[in-house]
Chain A
Amino acid sequence: MIAEVVTQEPVLQFEGVSRVHGSGPTAVRALGPVSFKIRSGELVAIMGPSGSGKSTLLSLAGALDVPSSGTVRLNGRDLANRNPAELSQLRRRTVGFVFQELNLLPGLTAVENVRLPLELDGHPLGDAHQRALEELSHVGLRDLADRFPDNLSGGEQQRVAIARAFVGPRSLLLADEPTGALDSVTGESVVRLLKKQCALGRTVVIVTHDAAHAGWADRVLYLRDGEIVDETVASTAGAGGIES
């Protein structure tokens, strides 16, 4: 059922991945086994009821958790058997996260928030600052670079978070309900922005309860009881769509 046509190495690949909490008779299977591939430039939405494994999937994809079995590959690299320092570096350089709220450090301005991952990765401050400003331009917030989060609207804060998620070499964004705290129009503008990022060759995986926002995705994976029970593929790709 899951698309297997690949024209290039997947950005993210799950092969028979499962995650079980506990062991023996009290073990709880949170996910899997699931297998899928996500290619560069795709916007993929993950839907499903609470407890279906959506957040577990996202944590495994972002190397925040390790699978009980199966293989997770990020840009072709197996995440297994890596020490915490390696995983941390991999995350900083490969994956960005956006959550429903509380994404930004309140004591830092927008540009300081965006440049933080680069600073942590040892980039010179001037270079990090310049790249952060460029990334803020991508999300249309160059003029608000010196504002603190408290002085930004909810939608603007999410745009800053998206800029931070993509700053530097990172090209995969994992978003958990990024529009959950926003009104419909603002939420749509955030999804539109994510779609635009995909048109630049970046890749976005978004967990959402909101079907209207999932509708922007090239593919929607539906999870139930830890398994992918359905996949809908947009018939014709829009901007940033699936490569043929």
Chain B
Amino acid sequence: MSVRNSLLALIAAQPAHGYGLKSEFESSTAGEWPLNAGQVYTTLSRLERDGLIIPAGDSGSRGEAGELDRRAWEVTAEGREALARWFDTPVENRSPRDEVVIKVLVAIATRQANLRQVLQTQRSATMKRLQEYTRHKIEADPDEQLAWLLLLDAMILRADAEIRWLDLCEQRLKQLDEERGS
């Protein structure tokens, strides 16, 4: 859904060709979501099928599939409505599933590992990753690389949240041990 709506947003901002959309999408998302050409053209075909985009102006003659990349697209009124709905609707139901969370929960449930060691190993790796993101952030130019900078901020804060959660796990377990021991 994100790629479909993102391409729709790029076309709404300015009529565009398939090949231009691919690079614009990649640059606006700091290269984090590389798209292949096939994915772009399939998405464009579906957007057209659903009446959200149409061939732009005089490039409107329908060609063969091989001409898809030479055709410019523009948004329809329905397309603008769909886009507005996407922006107006918060992202919900994010899954808590995550390998780190699952590993820690399973380690607690099964007692098949030294839990403190599992927590420490992960915290150390996550901290190292966070240092790496920060290094990129120090080198980033806020004027020229805003998307990249904001993406790094998101990654840093996720890593920060993971470290806090690992700390919390350790503290809760310690508290439980103390209560049981007393």
Contacts and interface: CB of A to CB of B under 8 A. Distances in A.
Contacts of B22: none
Nearest to B167: A49
Nearest to A216: B134
Interface size range of chain A in the complex: 20 to 34
Nearest to B162: A211
B171 A215 contact: no
Interface SS majority for chain B: helix
B124 A234 contact: no
Interface in B119-175: 120, 123-124, 126-128, 130-135, 138-139, 156-157, 159-160, 163-164, 167, 170-171
A211 B127 contact: yes
A195 interface: yes
Interface of A: 49, 192, 195, 210-212, 214-217, 220, 222, 224, 229-230, 232, 234-236, 238-239
Given A210-B160, A215-B156, A235-B128, A230 B135 contact: no
Nearest to B131: A234
Size category of the binding interface on chain B: 20 to 34
Given A210-B160, A230-B123, A220 B170 contact: no
A49 B163 CA distance: 11
Interface of B: 120, 123-124, 126-128, 130-135, 138-139, 156-157, 159-160, 163-164, 167, 170-171
12 contacts: A49-B167, A214-B130, A215-B130, A215-B160, A216-B134, A217-B131, A220-B131, A222-B123, A229-B120, A230-B120, A232-B124, A238-B134
